[in-house]
Amino acid sequence: MKVSTLSTGVVLLPLVLAAPATQPIILRNLAVPRFFGAAANTSWLYHDKNYTEVISTQFSIFTPENEMKWENIEPEPDSFDFGPADEIVQFAESVGAKMRGHNFMWGNQLPTWVNSSLTATELDKALQNHITTVMDHYRGKIYAWDVINEMISDNTPNETFKDNIWTQKFGEEAMPKALTYARAVDQQPKLYINDYGIEELGSKSDTLYSVVQGFLRDGVPVDAIGFQCHFTLGQVPGTLQQNLQRFADLGLDVAVTELDINLDGPGNATAFAQQAKDYWTVVNACMQTQRCVSVSVWGVSDDHSWIPNGEPLPWDAEKQPKPAFYAIADAFEGMPER
């Protein structure tokens, strides 16, 4: 090692700079001012240490995967079980995250007592009571509610709404009823219509667009559209961003609410690379849309996904980040896909 001295005889040693510490990638921070979220599930929260660690650090908004669905939160008439949903809300508060409520009007996961034997008047009373009681319980704690979930028909343009108990009893007034009841309870949360298969320019999204235009014209309260984005590998539609933008141009917020990319085959380097590309494409579409407020994945890690053996999420079964994780980070930072 070469040294030098000053005239005073003081020995100077060469300055050695320590290598900068690598900062962990925190997606919730990269997403700002948007939110990065996940569906949270009390089956794993606090019961799976690694799951809990990831979900505690990476996300800024949560959706309860099942805990607020009608069959769980009101299993018997006017008998409410808020315990599991409360656990997620309290967890979100503890990590400084917001909450999305999910959901009020859906044709699935209803308790057995909500059935076609109810008259329209009885069902109407049950719907209003359900929305009012749940929203009152969570007043001031929920950023947005999926008031409407999956009500647009898959058979558009021949049919506008799905055939379920709500449309059977209320016809085309079903969705306005739920949205109007929700707004009457609380003026603050964003009221969402959430659906799948509406991500691309096409018949189903055209139908929803027309329905929403009518709602806005008629004063039906709706603030935002949720695009679920359950995709299979390599099938992210090329018109996703254009479609997000046209709904935003109506003066609505838009959000990716239930994102996952199903490999639908063996997990290998090629598949994971395409999955990463797909995640980047979806997040980038949100980034390019001014009123796209959040991207949420439906779950956290592959072992706890609703899709068995699909390896659809950004973390693997060991809770290690996959290429998709880094692709999401790149998209939030405005970097090109790798």
Q: Is 74 a catalytic residue?
A: no
Phi/psi of residue 270, nearest 5 degrees? -65, -45
Quote the CA–CA distance of 334 and 338 in Å, as a whole number: 12
pLDDT digits (tens, 9 = 90+) for 188-238: 999 999 999 999 999 999 999 999 999 999 999 999 999 999 999 999 999
Q: What is the pLDDT of residue 11?
A: 46
Region 171-182: what's the mean pLDDT? 98
Region 246-255: what's the mean pLDDT? 98
Quote the CA–CA distance of 101 and 135 in Å, as a whole number: 9
Q: Is residue 223 part of a domain?
A: yes
The gap between the terminal CA atoms of the chain, to the nearest Å, is 42
Stated pTM of the model: 0.92
Q: What is the pLDDT of residue 338?
A: 79
Q: What is the pLDDT of residue 265?
A: 87
Contact between 203 and 159 under an 8 Å Cβ cutoff? The reply is: no
How many residues are recorded in the chain?
338
pLDDT digits (tens, 9 = 90+) for 257-312: 999 999 988 899 999 999 999 999 999 999 999 999 999 999 999 999 999 889 99
Q: What is the pLDDT of residue 164?
A: 98
Q: What is the pLDDT of residue 21?
A: 57
Q: Is residue 177 part of a domain?
A: yes
Q: What is the pLDDT of residue 8?
A: 42
Q: What is the pLDDT of residue 23?
A: 85
Q: Is residue 82 part of a domain?
A: yes
**Which element (helix H / strand E) includes 190?**
strand 190-195
Number of independent structural domains in the chain: 1
Q: What is the pLDDT of residue 13?
A: 46
Q: Is residue 27 part of a domain?
A: no
**pLDDT of 3 higher than 70:** no
Query: Within 13 A of 246's CA, how many CA atoms are on the CB side?
Result: 16
Q: Is residue 266 part of a domain?
A: yes
Select from 62, 96, 97, 68 the least CA-distant residue to 80.
68
Boundaries of domain holding 255: 34-332
Mean pLDDT is lowest, of 4-13, 40-49, 82-91, 98-107, for 4-13
Mean model confidence pLDDT for the chain: 94
Region 130-143: what's the mean pLDDT? 98
Q: Is residue 95 part of a domain?
A: yes
Q: Is residue 126 part of a domain?
A: yes
pLDDT digits (tens, 9 = 90+) for 36-77: 999 999 999 999 999 999 999 999 999 999 999 999 999 999
Q: What is the pLDDT of residue 106?
A: 98
Choosing from 65, 74, 199, 258, the catalytic residue is 258
**Which element (helix H / strand E) includes 261?**
strand 253-262
Q: CATH number for the domain including 66?
A: 3.20.20.80
Q: Is residue 261 part of a domain?
A: yes
Q: What is the pLDDT of residue 201?
A: 98
